């Protein structure tokens, strides 16, 4: 594929922001426990800047609002919360598969009230950063990678020639599994990917999935704070 300005290609525009974001996620907490909050803030700002800078390279990255997107977002939120404790998380699943106990990937969940004081301005600042980042930055960044790039690239290397409405079972299943197992909550993750990918195939555009994803993450953030269910973060 031809390179655009500054060597940006259709692939790099959709893949690089995602992997940079993931690399920073892997580094959260590596510089001390409280560093997870500052790294999350940094990756959120960087992610927003990357998406804004590449917006002309990502014409499909448009938010679309409709009752179907709202319903999909609410459905995935209900699945994410409702399935808790009804399946082994990714760490427990790997332990069972390998027949041994592995260290937990994130034994101390994100919990600003615990770390900065209940009701403190700093705690609320990082809570709002997390909700804003997961609702406004993560959805377009992940949907562009999974639903626009990965799904279509599995179908054909010239993925831009593949309509967003094209359905292929192999690509559908692989993308759902990839998305699901990138989360500790792998089962709702797989179901989430199926709902969002189905929405894209049905509507033939990415914006509905971005909106649904944002609604899911925003509702989950509200649930986490309301119920002090910090394990979801």
Give mean pLDDT in consecutive 10-residue pieces for the chain, a chain of 233 residues.
65 96 89 89 97 96 92 97 88 64 59 94 97 98 98 97 98 97 93 98 96 98 96 90
**CA-to-CA distance for 119 and 153, rounded, in angstroms?**
46
Q: For residue 30, what are the β-bridge partners?
A: 32
Q: Which two tokens stand for residue 206?
A: 């990415």
Q: Which of 153, 136, 154 is nearest to 215 (CA)?
A: 136
Q: Check residue 100 and give its pLDDT.
A: 58
Q: Check residue 9 and give its pLDDT.
A: 95
Contact, 214 vs 136, CB < 8 A? yes
Q: Check residue 37 and give its pLDDT.
A: 95
Q: Which two tokens stand for residue 77?
A: 């939120």
Alpha-helical runs (H) found in the chain: 10-26, 35-53, 67-82, 90-98, 112-116, 121-132, 138-143, 151-155, 169-180, 186-203, 207-227
Q: Check residue 188 and give its pLDDT.
A: 95
Q: Which residues, in sequence order, are CB contacts of 191 under 8 Å at separation 6+?
A: 76, 79, 180
Q: Check residue 78 and give its pLDDT.
A: 98
Q: Which of 84, 190, 223, 211 is nearest to 135 (CA)?
A: 211
**CA-to-CA distance for 136 and 70, rounded, in angstroms?**
15
Q: Which two tokens stand for residue 163?
A: 């309509």
Q: Check residue 90 and give its pLDDT.
A: 72
What are the boundaries of each domain within the chain? Answer: 62-232
For 195, counting Cβ atoms within 10 Å of its Cβ (0-12 exposed, 13-18 middle, 19+ buried), the class is buried
Please provide the DSSP assignment of 119-170 as one string.
T-HHHHHHHHHHHHIIIIIHHHHHHIIIIIIIHHHHH-SSGGGS-TT---HH
């Amino acid at each position: 594929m031809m390179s655009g300005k500054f060597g940006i290609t259709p692939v790099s525009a959709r893949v690089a922001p995602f992997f940079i974001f993931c690399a920073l996620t892997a580094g959260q907490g590596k510089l001390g426990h409280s560093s997870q909050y500052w790294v999350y803030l940094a990756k959120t700002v960087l992610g927003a800047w990357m998406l804004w800078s590449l917006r002309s390279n990502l014409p499909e990255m448009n938010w679309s609002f409709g009752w179907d997107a709202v319903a999909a977002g609410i459905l995935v939120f209900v699945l994410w919360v409702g399935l808790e404790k009804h399946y082994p998380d990714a760490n427990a699943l790997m332990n069972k598969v390998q027949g041994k106990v592995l260290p937990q990937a994130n034994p101390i969940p994100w919990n600003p009230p615990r770390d900065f004081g209940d009701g403190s301005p700093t705690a609320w600042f990082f809570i709002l950063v997390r909700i804003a980042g997961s609702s406004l930055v993560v959805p377009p960044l992940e949907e562009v990678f999974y639903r626009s790039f990965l799904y279509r690239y599995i179908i054909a290397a010239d993925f831009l020639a593949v309509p967003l409405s094209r359905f292929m079972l192999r690509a559908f299943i692989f993308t759902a599994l990839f998305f699901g197992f990138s989360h500790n909550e792998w089962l709702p993750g797989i179901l989430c990917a199926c709902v969002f990918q189905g929405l894209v195939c049905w509507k033939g555009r990415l914006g509905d999935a971005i909106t649904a994803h944002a609604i899911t993450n925003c509702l989950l953030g509200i649930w986490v704070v309301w119920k002090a269910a910090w394990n979801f973060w």
